[in-house]
Amino acid sequence: MAVVLTHNTYGKSNVRLTKVTRLPDRHELAQWSIDIQLDGDFAASYVAGDNRNVVATDTMKNTVYILARDRDLTDPESFALALGSHFLADYPQVALCRIDIRVEPWKRIAIDGSPHPHAFTGAEGGRRTCTVKSTRTERSIAAGIDELALLKTTDSAFRGFYRDAFTTLPEVDERIFATMLKTGWVYNETASDWNVHYAQIRQTLLQIFALHKSLAVQQTLHAMGAAVLETCPAVEEITLAMPNRHQLLVNLTPFGRDNPNCIFVATDEPFGLISGTLRRE
Amino acid sequence: MAVVLTHNTYGKSNVRLTKVTRLPDRHELAQWSIDIQLDGDFAASYVAGDNRNVVATDTMKNTVYILARDRDLTDPESFALALGSHFLADYPQVALCRIDIRVEPWKRIAIDGSPHPHAFTGAEGGRRTCTVKSTRTERSIAAGIDELALLKTTDSAFRGFYRDAFTTLPEVDERIFATMLKTGWVYNETASDWNVHYAQIRQTLLQIFALHKSLAVQQTLHAMGAAVLETCPAVEEITLAMPNRHQLLVNLTPFGRDNPNCIFVATDEPFGLISGTLRRE
Amino acid sequence: MAVVLTHNTYGKSNVRLTKVTRLPDRHELAQWSIDIQLDGDFAASYVAGDNRNVVATDTMKNTVYILARDRDLTDPESFALALGSHFLADYPQVALCRIDIRVEPWKRIAIDGSPHPHAFTGAEGGRRTCTVKSTRTERSIAAGIDELALLKTTDSAFRGFYRDAFTTLPEVDERIFATMLKTGWVYNETASDWNVHYAQIRQTLLQIFALHKSLAVQQTLHAMGAAVLETCPAVEEITLAMPNRHQLLVNLTPFGRDNPNCIFVATDEPFGLISGTLRRE
Amino acid sequence: MAVVLTHNTYGKSNVRLTKVTRLPDRHELAQWSIDIQLDGDFAASYVAGDNRNVVATDTMKNTVYILARDRDLTDPESFALALGSHFLADYPQVALCRIDIRVEPWKRIAIDGSPHPHAFTGAEGGRRTCTVKSTRTERSIAAGIDELALLKTTDSAFRGFYRDAFTTLPEVDERIFATMLKTGWVYNETASDWNVHYAQIRQTLLQIFALHKSLAVQQTLHAMGAAVLETCPAVEEITLAMPNRHQLLVNLTPFGRDNPNCIFVATDEPFGLISGTLRRE
């Protein structure tokens, strides 16, 4: 029987990088977790154990630390581009390099309202990510947010959906809308300052979530994505995934009490999962 | 600015189903976790909050329990096919239905070597999965194993790889090969008994892992995939992902001791991640 | 052989309570996870399956929702006290009631700098907890913080420790000090406003961590605990546990580069674990 | 204000040790995760940053690897005793040494029914643990099992419990009994072969769980603990904790179907938590 290797990729995951930059008035801190994946001329290793083309994943790890020493870590996107350029420039056997970076969300401790120059605590609301794919002719730059917890206590309805013999869900005008947003967007050529874009997109997402009168999770997702495209011309496409972390109204009737949208039980499972991708026409 | 919704999908995740079938001589137990995702004519919900076509995810959950009551749960693949058929048959607005099932690994408690008729404990070695995608014209049936821990203490080398100024990894003839296999395969039309196929594929993977003289994780991955294709004609394609959970030799020289491939420290990160897809030619 | 049941306790864990209080100008949100454990005259259930004294754990869950409907949820401590009083008052067979509450860290989304009246996102820095133990004659009220991430990039040394033939760690004047604080404190009779105390203690911990010139994790832990006792007279005793999440200096010498306390690899394991309890004399 | 340090302890956690013993006919594999905690004369480090008595946690880590090189790793209990003896013998400032070991559950891959000499996969059913506390005059040796999944589909009732206005739970003669056992026991002076004891205790727990006609989780817990004390004279005391991972009967009446104890939804939370300690009289 003939077997063919139709796809292969390999690399190093969870390379943990911390860089401290000691400026006169403050320390800058970057703590990132980095994944590297290479596609290219590596089939001989799979088929025959011939490793001559194989860049050891240990070497990839070393490369992260070396490039981090040589460069300023202003933003994860630039560093991912630099890693991609390095692997393509130094290794002719590499056709495609994919870099994923997750940013540890540190923020400065505030003392009497002032940010401390070298002490940090965990920041609120989500984890910044980026994904850069580089080949010798093209590259795509994407960024995103993981695990952004969102909840609103009103302005969320779900009515007029399809009903049949398997449907028991009542229509509601008021429900808690709780989710853990995961989103990623692709930048176009006009993108300039990744940190500015990120802050603006994050704030847009929070704001539209808060202000939207939701007729469905789907509709709010669409409104949030559309607002990002409208606000940030550097974004070409955005994908959002919103688990519907249902909070169920507790039945207090057996105990002689009403429950006017007041007491809920939060659930993790099962959960609705709503996804959508929007782009400029 | 014009915004277009280029893709959307939604559904219910982690629907937990347990079915007990009370036979005269024993109880059969199935405990599965099920995800449902639908593609189709749902854009109006996203764009305008018009939910007329929306099958509530709560209804999807109900459907799991109703169909599980009506049918024998012989294997997850058949049940996923039945769910797909149901959603396509009852809802004209559905174009594609994807079902993912994860099987909770229960095995019977053994007493004096005999399996008990109604008491169970956690089974060894990995979690069975399946993914069925159904449209009105086609369907694909895939199965897999998640979190299959594997380790061998010898017959694993890594030599002759590419070296440059960023390379410090020594070549080795002997190392511990430890991984947590995640694999999925696509069945062709000849597939008949999903349980028989699963057991055979799982055993083939374990056996080849044990017997292979590895020159690279890549090579062992390829050998395992090729063996599955050779052993099970019902498999059309297989993808394997093997994290290389490095176990590092501890340097005992500072303490006046040698370490002849004896004492290691297991690490979770960073890890190599090797993937490949093989199919019949 | 005679067997004796020397201790027993039982209850309900992870009762998830959400309460929304709809005020004219804003909604108040409390999302808590609650554990209840009862000690008392329950041995007959263990020894003979005689459940006459057993308060079903399902009833405990109901009780959480009923009392939450009847009361204002101003702070977790008051609610834990109310739960304890209820179980002791209604069930003569209960001798001791322990309530643990974990607070989901929501904060209002800010729009143009103003907190939104009904939309929330995940808050920074740690999770508030409390533990109340009630008997018919005594009660203890403890509170705490879990998972408070802390990191400082300087003002942390570790010198002058014990050395022997098994010691290889170099002395350092500068290291990254990274931890995930877990702390709990016991209130005395002077405690009045649990929310005010909590905010003050949390800020004290952050501030001392930032400002302390650390000669050992132990010393910083002691300084933080002592400051809490000094700042908040309502605290009788405080326990702190600080994992030392080592960040290791990367050796860049093989690559012709120095590393002046600049590039580190964050590690999760192994970790130092330093604990201490301080109280007023 | 006077502050006093009433308790302190410190050490190293999650030291991951793998030892391969290469015998002529097979390789023996031990993969353990080890925590060390020392109590003693360490207050000066907390109070004044005086580290002269402090054994660096890095030294503790080295010690694990050195002693593992020097000794046979026949069982975790012996190794924990050796570590305790070492820390007490070499460091006069240590008063109490606590060692916790968790055993990674590897088992040999079977090929044609024969165990392979050097290839392993994840074993079924729970993780072996031990805890040894050593002082200069005493030592206690405890062992246990974590995360032992157990489920029975019949022979579990819950009737006759206390009812009041807050009780809605129906009495049942038949329910699924699902738990994740965590248990620990203390050996007495007659203990001889820790591996034999462990295997016997584990089998006893499985067997009694399977055979017991349960009137309450409490009663089954007691029966399991009593059986261990009866079967294994080397056990002085045993503690069991059994979360009641409720599987709820699904209401299929709205869909015109009955549910004769057949279709359930597994839940993780809230869960009952039942604990008890038994000892010889």
Q: Return the ∠ at Cα D22 (arms to D16 and D25), rounded to 5°.
A: 135
Instruction: Say if B136 falls within a structural domain.
Output: no
Kindly state whether residue A3 falls inside one of the protein's structural domains: no
Structure tokens given for D38: 């020392």
Among D14, D15, D17, D20, the residue to mutate for chain B (most B Cβ within 10 A): D20
The whole-number pLDDT of residue C276 equals 98
Q: What is the pLDDT of residue C211?
A: 98
Residue C129's pLDDT band (cuts 50, 70, 90): very high
Q: Are residues D185 and D78 in the same domain?
A: no
Q: If DSSP codes are grouped into helix, strand and coil, which group holds residue A124? A: coil
Give catalytic residue positions of A.
12, 57, 246
Q: Which residue of B has its CA nearest to D65?
A: B263
Instruction: Report yes or no: C165 at the D interface, CB cutoff 8 Å.
Output: no
Q: What pLDDT score does D125 carry?
A: 80
Residue C3 lies in a domain: no
Mean pLDDT throughout D138-152? Answer: 98
pLDDT band at C269 (very low <50, low <70, confident <90, very high): very high
Q: What is the CATH number of the domain that holds A196?
A: 3.10.270.10
Segment (H or E) for C80: helix C76-90
Which of B234, B124, B126, B249 lies closest to B188, judged by CA? B234
The pLDDT of C213-221, averaged and rounded, is 98
Q: In D, residues 75-94, which contact B (CB 8 Å cutoff)?
A: none
What was the pLDDT predicted at D171? 97
- Would you call B14 and A166 a contact, using CB atoms and an 8 Å cutoff? no
The total of structural domains in chain A comes to 2
- Of the pLDDT bands very low, low, confident and very high (cuts 50, 70, 90), residue B88 is very high
For the cut 90, the answer to whether the pLDDT of residue D1 exceeds it is no
Q: Which residues of A touch B32 (CB under 8 A)?
A: none
Mean pLDDT of C253-277: 97
* Chain C contact present for D168, CB below 8 A: yes
Q: Which of C96, C129, C162 is the last residue of a domain?
A: C129
pLDDT number for residue B281:
85
Cβ atoms of D158 and D189 within 8 Å: the answer is no
Residue reference for tokens 């009361």: C71
Same domain, residue pair A250 and A159: yes
The gap from C-alpha C229 to its chain's centroid, in whole angstroms, comes to 17
**Domain around A32:** 10-137
Residue A5 located in a structural domain: no
| D251 CA: distance to closest CA in chain A (Å) | 11
Same domain for D156 and D130? no
Could D252 and B69 be called an inter-chain contact, meaning their C-beta atoms sit closer than 8 Å?
yes
User: pLDDT category, D150, cuts 50, 70, 90?
Assistant: very high
- Distance, CA of D203 to CA of B266 (rounded, Å): 29
- Residue A124 one-letter amino acid: E
User: Phi and psi (nearest 5°) for B272?
Assistant: -65, 150
User: Which string of DSSP letters, residue by residue, matches B232-259?
Assistant: -TTEEEEEEEEEE--EEEP--GGGT---
Strand, helix or coil for residue A112: coil
Q: Of C143, C153, C36, nearest to C91 (Cα)? A: C36
Mutate to test the interface with C, among A151, A207, A212 (most CBs of C within 10 A): A151
Task: Confirm if D223 and D204 have CB atoms less than 8 A apart.
Answer: no
Q: Does D16 touch chain B (CB under 8 A)?
A: yes
Which position has the token pair 């989710």? A179
The rounded percent of chain A whose pLDDT value lies above 70 is 100
C94: tokens are 């209960």
Cβ separation B66–D257 shorter than 8 A? yes
User: Based on the domain organization, do A151 and A57 belong to the same domain?
Assistant: no
* Residue B127 forms part of a structural domain: no
- For the CA atoms of C199, C200, C201, C204, what is the dihedral angle to 10 degrees? 120
pLDDT tens, residue by residue, D11-40: 999 999 999 999 999 999 999 999 999 999
- Written as six digits, the tokens of B56 are 């509530």
C135-162 burial, b if ≥16 CB within 10 A, otherwise e?
eeeebebbbbbeebbbbbbbbbbbeebe
Using DSSP's 3-state secondary structure scheme, residue D144 falls into strand
Could you tell me if A216 and A155 lie in one domain? Answer: yes
Q: D281 pLDDT band (50/70/90 cuts)? A: confident
Q: Are C126 and C147 in contact (CB under 8 A)?
A: yes
Cα(A243)–Cα(A1) distance, integer angstroms: 44
Q: D42 and D155 in one domain?
A: no
Q: Interior CA angle at A182 toward A178 and A185, to 5°?
A: 135
**Do D114 and D221 belong to one domain?**
no
Alpha-carbon dihedral C255, C258, C263, C267, rounded to 10 degrees: 70
In this prediction, residues D188-199 reach a mean pLDDT of 96
In degrees and rounded to multiples of 5, residue C206 shows phi and psi of -60, -45
Per-residue pLDDT, A232:
97
Across-strand partners of C101?
C34, C130
Cβ neighbours for C132, distance < 8 A, ≥ 6 positions apart = C77, C80, C81, C83, C84, C98, C99, C139, C140, C141, C142
The answer to whether residue C211 neighbours chain A at the CB level (below 8 Å) is: yes
| pLDDT tier at C125, thresholds 50, 70, 90 | confident
**pTM surpassing 0.95?**
yes
One domain for residues A160 and A231 = yes
The answer on B157 and B97 residing in a single domain is: no
Ramachandran sector of residue A205 (left: φ over 0; alpha: ψ -120 to 50; beta: rest): alpha
> How many Å lie between the alpha carbon of C12 and the closest alpha carbon of chain D?
4
Burial of D44 (C-beta count, 10 Å sphere; 0-12/13-18/19+): middle
C17: in domain: yes
| Single residue among A117, A137, A157 that ends a domain in this structure | A137
User: A114 pLDDT exceeds 90?
Assistant: yes
Phi first, then psi: what are they for C224, rounded to 5°? -70, -45
Tell me: the pLDDT tens digits for D239-254? 999 999 999 999 999 9
Tell me, yes or no, whether A1 lies in a domain: no
Ramachandran region of residue B112, left (φ > 0), alpha (ψ -120 to 50) or beta?
A: left
Q: Is D251 helix (H, G, I), strand (E, B) or coil?
A: coil
A231 part of contact set with chain B, CB < 8 Å: no
Q: Is the pLDDT of residue A120 over 80?
A: yes
Q: How many angstroms separate the CA atoms of B268 and C266, rounded?
A: 13
Distance from CA of A100 to the nearest CA of C (A): 17
Q: Mutual orientation of helices B217-231 and B194-211 as an angle, nearest 10°?
A: 140
pLDDT digits (tens, 9 = 90+) for B105-162: 999 999 999 999 999 999 998 999 999 999 999 999 999 999 999 999 999 999 999 9
> H-helix or E-strand containing B93?
none
Do A125 and A201 lie in a common domain? no
Examine the domain organization and report whether D132 and D153 are in the same domain. no
Same domain, A70 and A126: yes
List pLDDT tens digits, range A222-263: 999 999 999 999 999 999 999 999 999 999 999 999 999 999
pLDDT of residue D143: 98
Spatial separation of the C-alpha atoms in residues D226 and C230, rounded to whole Å: 50
How far is the C-alpha of C207 from the C-alpha of C205, rounded, in Å? Answer: 5
Q: Is residue C11 very low, low, confident or very high in pLDDT (cuts 50, 70, 90)?
A: very high
Chains in contact with A, where contact requires at least 3 CB pairs less than 8 Å apart: B, C, D
DSSP H helical ranges for B151-243: 194-211, 217-231
Domain boundary among C101, C129, C157: C129
Judged by a CB distance cut-off of 8 A, whether residue C169 touches chain B is: no
Residue C238, domain member (yes or no): yes
- Give me A22's structure tokens: 């000691």
* Whole-angstrom Cα Rg for chain D: 23
